Structure 1
Amino acid sequence: MARIIFYLAFLISSTLYGQVDEATQVKNTVNTFFEGFHKGDTTIMKSVMADKIVLQTAYRNKEGKDILVNDDIQKLINAIANRPSDQKWDERLLDYNIQVDGNMANAWTPYEFWLNDTFSHCGVNSFQLFKDGENWKIIYLIDTRRRSSCGKD
């Protein structure tokens, strides 16, 4: 009986450790994306992005209408690559909620965005990732953006 309990405990801890390790890898992928974002280094960003990525933003306009914008990832890459050197973009991730199931993962990251050390807006990023072999790649990114309800008013 003791042997069965030992093997069962080993199996459960191995499974949990594997998921924690995968969650850490997903978090590292998101952090690498933002390392490139902050440095203006699109090569770093692309290293954790799939060849084809869906990019969307959800927000409420001044008239109170909910808007969903589909964006071209190349526009974001170009904006980062051509950002003026005197502009500092600082997206501060406030938390990570990571879920993993096999080769699919989601990372939910509330954030604040600061432009040249001045608060701009807040929201949430939702990253969908796919593990193709050994590496997690971002396949989908949607974010929300708002200026109110950020605790900065």
Structure 2
Amino acid sequence: MRGNPFIAGLALAVAASPVSADVYVTEEMAVIAGANGFMDAIANSDRTVLAEHMLPEAVIFVHNQMDPANPRIDIVPAAKHLENWAKRTADYVESMKYSDILISGDMAQVWGPYSFTANGTLTHCGINSMSMVRMDDGSWKVGNVSFTMVAPERCGEVGAGWIDGDDS
């Protein structure tokens, strides 16, 4: 559910194969490949893989709305997040629909609703906003992430309609 599966698959296939004169990778495809790498790393049981898809200087902004009466914003440096991530043992899957992708030179923005499960149980949904940075080798990494967190019963409100079958 990470945007258009055909484009995402094509971007990954092209990124993994040698580029020839008859293969053209759009900037959007390259950004999607970077975002997919980050999302796939969340599901990887090797907790060190996530670090390969983020800048070490990245910052994560968590707009926690799990208790609507007491929302909070947590600001977590990537190094601290990766340290905490390494201690986790559950099986995680984050599914995201790439609603908007904006690109200007070496920066891009990937925006859209997501759902998050731990050991197959939906824990929360929200909106992801990933600031992507193009690296010298042409790949894209996450520079910063901001995301909202809402309780599972609010997934439809944030556009994660695939949870209850309303994928509009």
Q: What is the alpha-carbon distance in structure 1 between the residues aligned to residue 141 and residue 68 of structure 2?
A: 36
Structure 2 residue runs without a partner (length 5+): 1-23, 157-162
Residue equivalent to 1:49: 54
Q: What is the alpha-carbon distance in structure 1 between the residues aligned to residue 48 and residue 30 of structure 2?
A: 19
Q: What is the alpha-carbon distance in structure 1 between the residues aligned to residue 146 and residue 46 of structure 2?
A: 21
Amino acid in the other structure paired with 1:140: N
Greater helix content: 1
Structure 1 residue runs without a partner (length 5+): 1-17
Residue equivalent to 2:5: none
| Cα displacement (A) at 1:70 | 0.5
2:26 aligns to what SS in structure 1?
helix
Residue equivalent to 1:7: none
Q: What is the alpha-carbon distance in structure 1 between the residues aligned to residue 133 and residue 115 of structure 2?
A: 26
Say whether residues 1:99 and 2:97 are aligned partners. Answer: no
* Number of residues of Structure 1 aligned to a counterpart in Structure 2: 133
8 Å contact from structure 1 (residues 55, 70) kept in 2: yes
**Pick from 123, 144, 150: which aligns with 2:148?**
144
Q: 1:88 to 1:61 in 2, by over 3 A?
A: closer
Q: What is the alpha-carbon distance in structure 1 between the residues aligned to residue 83 and residue 98 of structure 2?
A: 27
8 Å contact from structure 1 (residues 40, 81) kept in 2: no
TM-score, normalised via structure 2 length? 0.69
Q: What is the alpha-carbon distance in structure 1 between the residues aligned to residue 52 and residue 119 of structure 2?
A: 26
**Pick from 47, 61, 69: which aligns with 1:64?**
69
Amino acid in the other structure paired with 1:106: Q
Q: How does 1:107-146 map to 2 (within 5 A)?
A: 107-133=110-136, 134-146=138-150
The C-alpha deviation readout for 1:64-123, integer Å capped at 9, x for no partner, is 133211013223212332222xx2111111334211011110001311111211111100
Taking only aligned residues, the RMSD between alpha carbons, in angstroms, comes to 2.2
2:41 aligns to what SS in structure 1?
helix
Greater strand content: 1
Q: What is the alpha-carbon distance in structure 2 between the residues aligned to residue 121 and residue 112 of structure 1?
A: 6
| Cα displacement (A) at 1:52 | 0.6
8 Å contact from structure 2 (residues 57, 77) kept in 1: no
Q: What is the alpha-carbon distance in structure 2 between the residues aligned to residue 89 and residue 106 of structure 1?
A: 24
| Cα displacement (A) at 1:59 | 2.3
| Cα displacement (A) at 1:138 | 1.3
TM-score, normalised via structure 1 length? 0.75
